[in-house]
């Protein structure tokens, strides 16, 4: 949109999501596979096909596999009682981590994400936030499976070593800085949402500079928003 529109940026890469960020809302909307560890009365209404029926107080039986969004899984987390066990999404499991460390560039993070970084960090801080007391005892008791705790340690490996992000950073920068007037759709298709933002920032810098070099920067143009609006009105008339 226009330069006057200041959207709320994502905070998912930090300790907490941004309350008003649309990106973070969509990120925390991604589903996690969970298994119920206790029967949950009255909640069958939310999962019609999983309900135990009226005679069981409309309960979701223990051991039911459900797909819950990240925000709900986080909310139901309980330090004292084990309510859910969460299955670590495949992309964060050992197999994929090996792939990342071999060559992070080959992975299609958009297909696997599209909020790969935000989610992994969200789960990491989440795990750490509740990691009080003895670590080993706690991950037997806690909502999160062992994998997430290993992941908490290895997140630093994923993000800090020249593997996933660092491994991909150079290529993102290269392509965003050099693909001038080229079709970039193939490049962008495999990027996660955060990487797309970076790529676009790089492209904008490149384009602005090229325009300036060609002497186009001083030409007065209507703002993007007004231009788009005018275009649309024009096509409306054609219809």
Give the interface with another protein as residue ranges (CB under 8 A). Answer: 1-8, 19-23, 25-26, 29, 31, 38-43, 46-47, 68-69, 71-72, 75-76, 78, 83, 114, 193, 196, 218, 220, 223-226, 228-229, 232-233
Q: What are the angstrom distances between the C-alpha of 140 and each of 36, 64, 90, 131, 229?
A: 15, 19, 20, 11, 57
* CB nearer to another protein: pick between 5 and 181: 5
User: Which phi and psi angles does 233 have, rounded to 5°?
Assistant: -60, -40
* CB nearer to another protein: pick between 70 and 158: 70
Dist. CA 61–CA 43, nearest whole Å: 10
Q: Which residues of 214-239 are buried (b: 16+ CB within 10 A; e: fewer)?
A: eeeeeeeeeeeeeeeeeeeeeeeeee
Smallest gap from residue 12 Cβ to another protein (A): 13
* CB nearer to another protein: pick between 13 and 157: 13
CB of 52 closer than 8 Å to CB of 43: no
* CB nearer to another protein: pick between 129 and 225: 225
What counts of helices (H) and strands (E) characterise the chain? Answer: 11, 3
Smallest gap from residue 74 Cβ to another protein (A): 8
* CB nearer to another protein: pick between 21 and 119: 21
Smallest gap from residue 221 Cβ to another protein (A): 9
Give the distance, in angstroms, between the CA of residue 122 and the centroid of all CA atoms in the same chain.
9
Smallest gap from residue 32 Cβ to another protein (A): 11
Smallest gap from residue 233 Cβ to another protein (A): 8
């Amino acid at each position: 949109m226009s330069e006057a529109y200041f959207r709320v940026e994502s905070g998912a890469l930090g300790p907490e999501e941004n309350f008003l960020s649309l990106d973070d809302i969509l990120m925390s909307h991604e589903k996690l596979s969970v298994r119920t560890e206790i029967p949950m009365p009255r909640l069958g209404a939310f999962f019609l096909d999983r309900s135990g029926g009226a005679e069981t107080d409309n309960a979701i039986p223990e051991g039911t596999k459900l797909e819950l969004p990240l925000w709900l899984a986080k909310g139901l987390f309980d330090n004292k009682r084990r309510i859910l066990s969460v299955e670590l999404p495949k992309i964060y499991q050992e197999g994929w981590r090996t792939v990342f460390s071999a060559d992070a560039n080959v992975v299609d993070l958009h297909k696997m994400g599209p909020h790969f970084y935000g989610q992994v960090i969200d789960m990491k801080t989440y795990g750490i936030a509740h990691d009080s007391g003895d670590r080993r005892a706690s991950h037997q008791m806690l909502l999160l499976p062992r994998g997430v705790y290993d992941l908490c340690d290895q997140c630093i490996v994923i993000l800090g070593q020249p593997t996933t992000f660092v491994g991909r950073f150079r290529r993102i920068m290269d392509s965003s800085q050099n693909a001038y007037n080229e079709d970039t759709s193939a490049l962008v298709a495999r990027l996660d949402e955060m990487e797309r933002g970076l790529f676009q920032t790089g492209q904008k810098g490149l384009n602005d500079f090229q325009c300036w070099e060609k002497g186009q920067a001083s030409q007065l143009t209507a703002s993007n928003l007004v231009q788009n609006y005018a275009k649309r009105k024009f096509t409306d008339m054609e219809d």
